[in-house]
């Protein structure tokens, strides 16, 4: 069985930071969910201002090109792409990413599911492809552009949910090497929770049909409580499971990198794992909830700031939507690029 490594990651944030006041001082800003732990406002986030998912990927990949060489990145065998808010109908963003970067992959998949945990989901998919085929390298891409497009709509901007997301892109470079081997990976698809998080249009139309209502997430007080309970439970469960498989207690994780939905989850997860804050990097206050891009961007920041050392046990973990997917991966980090 071939060893597969998460050899490198890189991230990109668009534009200048947008302050919380953009939402909290918005005329008519009023929502019964504003004080809920799920929606406590981060001070800053970034917004796209016309950039597409592909634009963000193109920028996020540039540091990988600088560190590994353009020819090495152009020769990747596998390209996986996840867009939190798809903006390329029919063909998907993956083909345009390949065109822009000059790639000719044997495997090209636009991944539609796994939301905030999609980086781990794509890590699992890429690992399986690299292990079972002749492919030797993969590029996995998470682009998030909903904050500056969906949540800045005039009516949606007034809601508590709007102030939480931020935009950005994170990418990972995988190789069939022992540079930073993926030791173990666990995932769980929970069909019973599917459909519990929905997009809503008040006039009842389908999102592609013309109309005046603005697309938003269908949160209710009961639904938010359910998501908080599931998220608090699922991420520690999956992290413990992956640590059990490698026979390491969670307290010995050197770096736990999770998705970044809100401060409540982040606090509860590290407390459940028995980890101090310095071993659980947090980008929520400066980036907001980056959805699927949060894990690679947060890991990239930890790497570039010197928080990851050769031989460290890095665990990635997260859950998606209202809990329909959760996953965790254990990586023995090699030399930091």
Residue 269 phi, psi (nearest 5):
-65, -50
Most distant pair of Cα atoms in the chain: their distance: 59
Distance, first Cα to last Cα, the chain: 25
Tokens for 330? Answer: 């254990």
Looking at residue 337, what is its pLDDT?
Answer: 58
Domains and CATH numbers, the chain: 5-178 (3.40.47.10), 183-332 (3.40.47.10)
For each of the chain's 337 residues, which pLDDT tens digit applies? 899 999 999 999 999 999 999 999 998 887 778 889 999 999 999 999 999 999 999 999 999 999 999 999 999 999 999 999 999 999 999 999 999 999 999 999 999 999 999 999 999 999 999 999 999 999 999 999 999 999 999 999 999 999 999 999 999 999 999 999 999 999 999 999 999 999 999 999 999 999 999 999 998 889 999 999 999 999 999 999 999 999 999 999 999 999 999 999 999 999 999 999 999 999 999 999 999 999 999 999 999 999 999 999 999 999 999 999 999 999 999 976 5
Looking at residue 109, what is its pLDDT?
Answer: 98
**Collapsing DSSP states into helix, strand and coil, what is residue 158?**
helix
Q: Is the dihedral of CA 301, 302, 304, 305 positive or negative?
A: positive
320 contact partners, CB below 8 Å, separation of at least 6: 113, 114, 115, 116, 117, 118, 326
93 contact partners, CB below 8 Å, separation of at least 6: 52, 53, 54, 57, 81, 83, 86, 87, 110, 143
Are the beta carbons of 286 and 310 closer than 8 angstroms? no
Give the chain's length.
Answer: 337
For tokens 């736990």, the residue is 256
d(CA 283, CA 181): 25
Are the beta carbons of 181 and 335 closer than 8 angstroms? no
Looking at residue 32, what is its pLDDT?
Answer: 79
pTM score: 0.97
Tokens for 181? Answer: 């081997």
Looking at residue 9, what is its pLDDT?
Answer: 98
Helix, strand, coil percent content, the chain, rounded in steps of 5:
35, 20, 40
Looking at residue 253, what is its pLDDT?
Answer: 98
Are the beta carbons of 94 and 110 closer than 8 angstroms? yes
């Amino acid at each position: 069985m071939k060893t597969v490594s998460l050899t490198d990651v890189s991230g990109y944030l668009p534009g200048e930071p947008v302050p919380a006041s953009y939402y909290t001082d918005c005329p008519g800003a009023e929502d019964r969910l504003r004080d809920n732990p799920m929606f406590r406002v981060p001070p800053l986030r970034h917004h796209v201002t016309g950039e597409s998912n592909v634009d963000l990927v193109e920028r996020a990949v540039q540091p990988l090109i600088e560190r590994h060489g353009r020819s090495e990145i152009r020769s990747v065998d596998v390209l996986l792409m996840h867009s939190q808010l798809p903006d390329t109908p029919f063909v998907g963003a993956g083909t345009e990413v390949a065109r822009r970067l000059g790639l000719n992959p044997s495997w090209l998949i636009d991944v539609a599911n796994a939301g905030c945990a999609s980086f781990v989901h794509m890590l699992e998919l890429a690992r399986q492809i690299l292990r079972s085929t002749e492919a030797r390298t993969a590029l996995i891409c998470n682009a998030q552009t909903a904050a500056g497009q969906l949540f800045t709509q005039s009516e949606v901007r007034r809601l508590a949910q709007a102030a939480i997301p931020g935009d950005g892109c994170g990418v990972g470079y995988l190789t069939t090497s022992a540079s930073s081997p993926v030791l173990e990976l666990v995932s769980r698809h929970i069909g019973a929770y599917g459909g519990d998080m929905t997009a809503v249009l008040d006039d009842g139309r389908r999102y592609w049909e013309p109309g005046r209502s603005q697309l938003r997430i269908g949160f209710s007080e009961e639904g938010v409580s359910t998501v908080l309970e599931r998220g608090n439970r699922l991420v520690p469960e999956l992290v413990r499971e992956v640590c059990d498989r490698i026979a390491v207690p969670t307290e010995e994780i050197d770096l736990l990198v999770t998705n970044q939905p809100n401060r409540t989850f982040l606090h509860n997860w590290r407390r459940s794992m028995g980890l101090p804050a310095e071993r659980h990097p947090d980008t929520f206050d400066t980036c907001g909830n980056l959805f699927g891009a949060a894990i690679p961007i947060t890991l990239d920041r930890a790497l570039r700031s010197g928080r990851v050392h050769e031989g460290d046990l890095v665990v990635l973990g997260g859950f998606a939507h209202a809990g329909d997917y959760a996953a965790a991966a254990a990586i023995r980090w090699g030399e930091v690029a």
